């Protein structure tokens, strides 16, 4: 590995040393609270080889928990509402990290009531879908983006659809974007939430007669080194999530998985007073340093320790209507059972923090260089979500270039990153109006 451009670290030392530091913080999570153990939600946790649908009472009325076999080699867990018979259309909903199909629990019934057949899978590596029993050193190729697209095509086909509408949040927004780029014939429309699509790759153009320059031939700036050189030194959350110690940091968090998730969801929501986002202006270490610590952590600190400092009070938790504790228990029970590595594998498939698809096993996405999302599209996010600004210019490129038929861009006041949960009534209405207009 080439040395970083400052003497104190090599990249390998940076990653190994920080991961080792995280490992020293590891502790097995405590048992579930007694109250949770008495609920039907805790009854969801079963041995992996016996895992079945959610227990009665977990989901809203009319939403079914089921499995679909042979989805690109997976047994996929799907939340379903409505039916294909007589439906206006099929709608596929894709969740983010660290989430589940359950994140769509408020939109699913609204869509079904409006006559749509709704499908929300636990994505590869998440929840009750196969692939959660994954290890850090396992093959990353199943988690490359085009295989995630293939998962969705296989699921749509399994339900007998030639075309569906599509929506995605966070990481699911990236998957939805690439589904729309790769197969516009299948995905009729796309609603993206909280993660703007900044466009496809740009290949070198009209360079055959150009004189090679040293600048063009040089390596891209090393953002890991630049962030580590800050005072205090920092590292990007995606770099942390790619380390060997990341899964244990979250899964064996000293505060337990439930409290880790509570603090993490709180800190990225509109409820946390520190979320006052603004455009960064440029992709640089100094620019990224303006992001909250959950995006650019102190070097050597893990995510569990970072968010623990901002754990909401008992009163704040009791007042959280968008994520009451019994609903949070659905997430924590699943992640206590599976760990987080299935979701973290995608971060490991990314070659560099400077590019979401910076070569490596995702280099095949360059075959779509110059392609745009041309079907009707919609973007929804929280006005207090730093995520829409973490990649400078992405929101603007989506609006002006990447989505050629963008029907609306909505930033909802008071909402943070978990927009479809924090402002469910507004999101439901925006999505229903969008679909009705098609």
Q: pLDDT by residue (tens digit) across 96-141?
A: 999 999 999 999 999 999 999 999 999 999 999 987 889 999 999 9
pLDDT of residue 63: 98
Structure tokens, 211: 């004189």
> For the domain bounded by 52-201+356-436, which CATH number is listed?
3.40.50.1820
Q: Assign 410 to helix, strand or coil.
A: strand
Consecutive H or E run containing 350: none
Q: Per the omega criterion (within 30 degrees of 0), is the bond before 98 cis?
A: yes
pTM beyond cutoff 0.95: no
Give dist(CA 211, CA 219) in Å, integer. 18
Strands 377-382 and 296-298: unpaired
pLDDT of residue 425: 98
pLDDT of residue 351: 59
pLDDT of residue 32: 35
Q: What are the start and end residues of each CATH 3.40.50.1820 domain in the chain?
A: 52-201+356-436
pLDDT digits (tens, 9 = 90+) for 155-206: 999 999 999 999 999 999 999 999 999 999 999 999 999 999 999 988 888 9
pLDDT of residue 27: 37
Angle formed at CA 197 by CA 195 and CA 202, multiple of 5 degrees = 145
pLDDT of residue 357: 61
Structure tokens, 57: 């009472």
Residue bearing tokens 């994520």: 323
pLDDT of residue 241: 96
Give dist(CA 71, CA 66) in Å, integer. 13
pLDDT of residue 263: 98
Residue 23 burial (CB count, 10 A): 15
Structure tokens, 425: 């009534």
Please identify every stretch of the chain with a pLDDT value under 50, giving residue numbers as ranges: 1-48
């Amino acid at each position: 590995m080439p040395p970083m451009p400052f003497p104190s670290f090599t990249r390998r030392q940076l990653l190994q040393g920080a991961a080792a530091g995280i490992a020293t913080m590891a502790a097995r999570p405590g048992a579930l609270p007694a109250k949770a153990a008495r609920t039907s939600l805790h009854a969801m946790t079963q041995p992996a080889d016996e895992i079945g649908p959610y227990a009665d009472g977990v989901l809203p009325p009319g939403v079914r928990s089921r499995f679909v076999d042979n989805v690109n080699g997976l047994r996929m867990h799907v939340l379903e509402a409505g039916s294909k018979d007589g439906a206006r259309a099929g709608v596929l909903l894709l969740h983010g990290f660290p989430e589940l199909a359950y994140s769509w629990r408020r939109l699913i019934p609204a869509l079904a009531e409006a006559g749509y057949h709704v499908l929300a899978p636990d994505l590869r590596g998440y929840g009750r879908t196969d692939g959660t029993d994954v290890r850090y050193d396992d093959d990353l190729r199943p988690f490359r983006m085009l295989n995630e697209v293939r998962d969705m095509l296989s699921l749509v086909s399994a339900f007998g659809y030639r075309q569906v509408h599509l929506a995605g949040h966070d990481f699911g927004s990236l998957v939805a974007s690439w589904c729309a780029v790769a197969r516009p014939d299948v995905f009729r429309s796309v609603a993206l939430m909280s993660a703007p699509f900044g466009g496809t790759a740009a290949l070198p153009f009209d360079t055959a007669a150009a004189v090679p320059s040293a600048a063009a031939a040089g390596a891209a700036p090393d953002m890991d080194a630049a962030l580590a050189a800050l005072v205090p030194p920092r590292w990007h959350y995606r770099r942390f999530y790619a380390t060997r110690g990341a899964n244990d940091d979250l899964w064996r968090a000293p505060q337990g998985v439930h409290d880790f998730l509570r603090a993490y969801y709180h800190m990225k929501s509109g409820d946390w007073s520190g979320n006052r986002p603004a455009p960064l202006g440029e992709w640089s270490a100094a620019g990224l340093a303006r992001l909250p610590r959950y995006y650019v952590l102190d070097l050597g600190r893990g995510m569990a320790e970072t968010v623990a400092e901002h754990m909401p009070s008992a009163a704040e938790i009791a007042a959280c209507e968008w994520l009451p504790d019994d609903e949070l228990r659905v997430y924590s029970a699943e992640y206590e059972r599976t760990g987080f590595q299935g979701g973290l594998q995608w971060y490991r498939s990314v070659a560099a923090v400077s590019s979401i698809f910076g070569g490596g096993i995702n280099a095949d996405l360059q075959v779509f260089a110059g392609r745009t999302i041309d079907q009707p599209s919609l973007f929804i996010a929280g006005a207090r979500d730093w995520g829409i600004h973490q990649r400078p210019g992405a929101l603007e490129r989506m609006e002006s270039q990447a989505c050629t038929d963008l029907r609306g861009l909505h930033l909802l006041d008071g909402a943070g990153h978990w927009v479809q949960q924090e402002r469910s009534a507004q999101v439901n209405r925006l999505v229903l109006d969008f679909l009705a207009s098609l």
